Structure 1
Amino acid sequence: MTRSQAGELPVVGQRPAERADAVRNRRKILRAAARLLADGGVERLSLDDVAAAAEVGVGTVYRRFRDRTGLAIALLDEREKEFQQAFMSGPPPLGPGAPPADRVRAFLHALVDRVRDQFELVLVAESAEPAIRYGEGAYPFRHFHLVTLLRETVPDRDVDYLAAALLAPLSASLLAHQIRDQGRDVESIRSGIDDLVELTLGGGS
């Protein structure tokens, strides 16, 4: 049974219990990677540089994160926890208390901002194999959240597919193209999202 079938929200960054030294190494690596990212952008995120900055062996970084993409996903996970709390328990319309359709719109609007603010890092994360990109990190719980809201508005439709379809336009590669190459502003993208939500929900909105 999947988490979605069991009704359990997958918490970002959740993993099996680790040894204390493994936890310390993970924290050191992520702190070092965050410093390098802040100082020089994603170009600084080579696993060799991160290992040196964290004062751990390169093999330790490779074992924990596999590659640069895995490290990017882990960095995004660390930043995602605050967002998860916002839509789980924060004020409406992003958090509980607003109609489901309003929460869907607020959620997608917030995702535009999050992706825009982390374009380069998200672009690296999106280069992962599909099983990793869509099965780990932020995507599963974002999808689960949308599925939950859609079930309240259009329960007779394929909400699993619709949730994926609503998330698809918010890929970093597409948003970067729209904003940087086409000159779209964020408000026009949000307006398009609102139209997409209205078409998707129909009478359920």
Structure 2
Amino acid sequence: MRADAERNRAAILAVAGRLICEDHRVDVSMDEIAAAADVGKGTLFRRFTDREGLIRAVFDDRTCRAWAQAREIAADPALPAAERIVAYVAAVFDLCSGLQPLLRALPESCHARTWGPWQALLADLIAEAAPEADAQFLALAVFASLRPEITAAISAPRHRAGVLALTARILGPGRR
């Protein structure tokens, strides 16, 4: 890819992510994104085809970068397994929380494909910390507790604290 094309792509993803995720402008138009990224509308549509393609690209970009960080947390030999699990779940929660506008805009089928490896890594970590546990079920239960409907019912800080407390509890006494 040409350097200017890569620069344009990065600018578009950054602007779209900021407008949709940070500014909570879920209704932002492709025209507004193109103008804010200082690219032509044609460039935007050639690169991403439509709004869903752009949203998927922003989602993929953010989750890809977060996946690299989450794997580092999970593999950190300086932390006991239980601490890695809680840190990992905190990172996943923070990512999911920041991606809510994108998640609402994407079909549900994208979610399962995206989060499968994340759930598998959590199950591996749980199996390491609690070999007698049903690690796959517990990983799925933790991920189920990340659903945005919970944040809609209670505050985000309370939701995050609850998810982390649940995660610590599944590890059982003496493993926290």
Q: What is the TM-score with the length of structure 1 in the denominator?
A: 0.61
Unpaired segments of 5 or more residues in structure 2?
none
Distance in 1 (CA, whole Å) between partners of 2:13 and 2:88 is 27
Matched, 1:42 2:31: no
Q: 1:85 to 1:60 in 2, by over 3 A?
A: same
Sort the Cα spacing of 1:173 and 1:26 in 2 relative to 1 into closer, same or farther, 3 A: farther
Farther off after superposition, 53-62 or 164-173: 53-62
The reply to whether residue 104 of structure 1 matches residue 90 of structure 2 is: no
- After superposition, the Cα gap between the structure-2 partners of 1:202 and 1:39, relative to the gap in structure 1 and judged at 3 Å, is closer
- Where 2:78 maps in the other structure, the secondary structure is coil
Q: Distance in 2 between matches of 1:201 and 1:38?
A: 33
| Aligned length in residues | 171
Letter in structure 2 aligned against 1:142: W
Spell out the pairing of 1:139-150 with structure 2 (5 A cutoff).
Answer: 139-150=115-126
| 1:122–1:76 Cα change, 3 Å | farther
Identity of counterpart residues, as a percentage? 22
Determine which of 38, 42, 46 is the counterpart of 1:60. Answer: 46
Contact 1:86/1:95 (8 A) holds in 2: no
Corresponding residue to 1:130 among 93, 108, 113: 108
Q: Cα deviations across residues 50-86 of structure 1 (Å, max 9, x unaligned)?
A: 2344324253254376346425514533xx62x4454
The answer to whether structure 1 residue 201 and structure 2 residue 152 are counterparts is no
Query: For 1:71 and 1:94, how far apart are their aligned partners in 2?
Result: 27
Q: Which residue of 1 aligns with 2:161?
A: 190
Q: Residue type of the partner of 1:45?
A: V
Secondary structure of the residue aligned to 1:42 is coil
Amino acid of the structure 1 residue aligned with 2:137: Y
Question: 1:166-189 deviations in whole A, cap 9, x for unaligned?
Answer: 112123332242107xxxx43x75
Distance in 2 (alpha carbons) for counterparts of 1:154 and 1:178: 30
Name the CA distance, whole Å, in 2 between partners of 1:123 and 1:66.
12
RMSD: 3.7
Instruction: Give the Cα–Cα distance (whole angstroms) in 2 for the partners of residues 178 and 66 of structure 1.
Output: 29
Larger fraction in helix: 2
Q: Deviations over 1:18-48 (max 9, x none)?
A: x437644422321332454488532453334
Which secondary structure state, in structure 2, belongs to the residue aligned with residue 133 of structure 1?
helix
